Amino acid sequence: MRALLLAAALAAGCTDETKNAPDMTIFMSDCGKPGDVGNSLGVGKFCTAGEFVAQCGMNPKANLCANLGDANNFFCTFECDGTDGGAPDQCGENAVCACDSKGRGCGCFPTACIH
């Protein structure tokens, strides 16, 4: 009975944001997990397509969410120069410039997600 009362009290104290949050125990992602903070440019910070402006908008450079183009990636990114002339550190620490094999462009990718 005590546990039931405690659970009811905790549920009553939840904000609407907490109540509507997705169940992160079943969150599926190839790259990017809730709580990821990203590097100094914002590359790797967790984001979702519906909230990317609020989630990535304040980053110094990584203002796009990879989820906009790929449903299985949830991190802030920006376009980079994947040619030989591109600066090796253009994506900041713990990130690299990776290019799409289909020629759709290049973007900064967290090194933690490279398999």
In a domain, 11, yes or no: no
- Strand 76-77 and strand 64-65: pairing? antiparallel
In a domain, 84, yes or no: yes
Report the domain count for the chain: 1
pLDDT digits (tens, 9 = 90+) for 91-103: 999 999 988 888 8
Among 10-19, 23-32, 37-46, the range of highest mean pLDDT: 37-46
Residue 78 has pLDDT above 90, yes or no: yes
pLDDT of residue 113: 86
In a domain, 7, yes or no: no
Residue 97: give the domain boundaries: 24-113
pLDDT of residue 46: 95
| Integer Cα distance of 108 and 39 in angstroms | 11
In a domain, 10, yes or no: no
Of 69 and 7, the one with more pLDDT: 69
Residue 74 has pLDDT above 60, yes or no: yes
- Entry pTM: 0.72
Nearest alpha-carbon partner for 66 in 81, 80, 82, 52: 52
In a domain, 12, yes or no: no
In a domain, 5, yes or no: no
